[in-house]
Amino acid sequence: MVILKSPKEIEKLRVSNRIVADILCRLEDEVKPGVDTLYLNDVAEKLASEKDAKPAFKGYKGYPYSLCTSVNNVVVHGLPSKKQLVEGDIISLDFGVLFDGYYGDAAITVPVGKVSRTAMRLTRITREALYKGIEKAVPKRRLSDISYAIQSYVEAAGYSVVRIFVGHGIGSSLHEDPQIPNFGKPGMGAILKPGMTLALEPMVNEKGYEVDILEDGWTAITKDGGLSAHFEHTVAVTENGPVILSERNGG
Ligand code: MF3
Ligand code: CO
């Protein structure tokens, strides 16, 4: 069941998502060669506690950390560790909080120092694909118009869209209906209505879309070893079009 939110609830979601956006901004500044991902997790926890926000992922289905740190061929749910980042890596940072009863959830992929042109392009195409999806988050369109917009943009660029993870509704739960695949034919699924709040999160692979899960039960890697990128925004569908609730200062 899709839960529609009142303007008041959307304001609460905005507050939570702003906290996430600000923390991701601060984490991005910390990303450099020599830094380990457990340090980034600890910074995220410290910043969240300064805002009285509860990290949303820690303990969620047993996830052991607050931040997901997915480096290079890791698609999503990379576990923070003492392993240091090296120049040329790309890292996806996925973070969520619970504040005043509502969740924030967003992700960015950032380069570590100077990275290859391919890594830069994959990152850019993934970010742009997210925005192609957001553009379609308007009343009277259908859910799969978002999916189709993302998939067609990604595939036209020569990359592939991960199938086994999807975007989701978000509100007083981290994951609500509907599920939002990043692929599919247009014109299908639920009709979009004002008050829907959606976490759109394309995961894009340089080569094939297939994914393996490591023994730890979390880390998702590309089957073929290709690079992967991930961007996520929480978005509200309104009469006036899509509103990005996890927008960072300056975009
Ligand atoms: N952004 C991801 C999601 O919405 C992060 C979840 S990580 C988990 O599914 F640990 F909480 F599962
Ligand atoms: Co999410």
Q: What is the pLDDT of residues 114-168, one digit of tens each?
A: 999 999 999 999 999 999 999 999 999 999 999 999 999 999 999 999 999 999 9
pLDDT band for position 210 (cuts 50, 70, 90): very high
Q: Is 233 in the pocket of ligand 1 (CB under 6 A)?
A: no
Confirm whether 219 is domain-assigned. yes
Q: Is 230 in the pocket of ligand 1 (CB under 6 A)?
A: no
**Can you tell me the distance from the alpha carbon of 178 to that of 201, in angstroms, rounded to the nearest whole number?**
13
SS3 state at 107: strand
Residue 250 has pLDDT above 70, yes or no: no
Number of residues in the chain: 251
Residue 245 has pLDDT above 70, yes or no: yes
Confirm whether 150 is domain-assigned. yes
Residue 112 has pLDDT above 80, yes or no: yes
pLDDT per residue over 44-88, tens digit each?
999 999 999 999 999 999 999 999 999 999 999 999 999 999 999
SS3 state at 162: coil
CATH code for position 74 = 3.90.230.10
Q: Is 68 in the pocket of ligand 1 (CB under 6 A)?
A: yes
Average pLDDT over residues 185-202: 98
Identify the nearest ligand to the CA of 79 by its number. 1
Question: 251 with 22: CB under 8 angstroms?
Answer: no
Confirm whether 190 is domain-assigned. yes
- How many structural domains compose the chain? 1
pLDDT (0 to 100) of residue 248: 81
Q: What is the pTM of this model?
A: 0.98
SS3 state at 71: strand
Phi, psi of 118, rounded to the nearest 5 degrees: -60, -45
Q: Which of 170, 173, 186, 153 is nearest to 237 (CA)?
A: 170
Average pLDDT over residues 218-238: 98
pLDDT (0 to 100) of residue 200: 99
pLDDT (0 to 100) of residue 195: 98
β-strand partners of 106: 95
Q: Is 94 in the pocket of ligand 1 (CB under 6 A)?
A: yes
**From ligand 2's centre to the CA of 166, what distance in Å?**
8
**Can you tell me the distance from the alpha carbon of 19 to that of 55, in angstroms, rounded to the nearest whole number?**
11
Confirm whether 14 is domain-assigned. yes
| Residues of the domain holding 159 | 7-244
Confirm whether 249 is domain-assigned. no
pLDDT per residue over 2-58, tens digit each?
999 999 999 999 999 999 999 999 999 999 999 999 999 999 999 999 999 999 999
Residue nearest to ligand 1 atom 6, measured at CA: 57
Residue 217 has pLDDT above 60, yes or no: yes
Q: Count Cβ atoms below 10 Å from residue 42 Cβ, excluding itself.
A: 15
**Can you tell me the distance from the alpha carbon of 129 to that of 120, in angstroms, rounded to the nearest whole number?**
14
Question: 89 with 45: CB under 8 angstroms?
Answer: no
Question: Rg of the chain over CA atoms, in angstroms?
Answer: 17
Residue 220 has pLDDT above 90, yes or no: yes
* DSSP state letter for 61: G
**From ligand 1's centre to the CA of 234, what distance in Å?**
13
Q: Is 57 in the pocket of ligand 1 (CB under 6 A)?
A: yes
**Can you tell me the distance from the alpha carbon of 152 to that of 134, in angstroms, rounded to the nearest whole number?**
14
Phi, psi of 153, rounded to the nearest 5 degrees: -65, -45
Confirm whether 227 is domain-assigned. yes
Q: Which of 121, 97, 107, 108 is nearest to 226 (CA)?
A: 121
Confirm whether 155 is domain-assigned. yes
Confirm whether 250 is domain-assigned. no
pLDDT band for position 179 (cuts 50, 70, 90): very high
Sign of CA dihedral 57, 59, 61, 64: positive
In DSSP notation, 21-40 reads HHHHHHHHHH--TT-BHHHH
**Can you tell me the distance from the alpha carbon of 94 to that of 204, in angstroms, rounded to the nearest whole number?**
14
Q: Is 173 in the pocket of ligand 1 (CB under 6 A)?
A: no
Question: For residue 29, which amino acid is it?
Answer: D
β-strand partners of 160: 205
Question: 228 with 202: CB under 8 angstroms?
Answer: no
pLDDT (0 to 100) of residue 169: 98
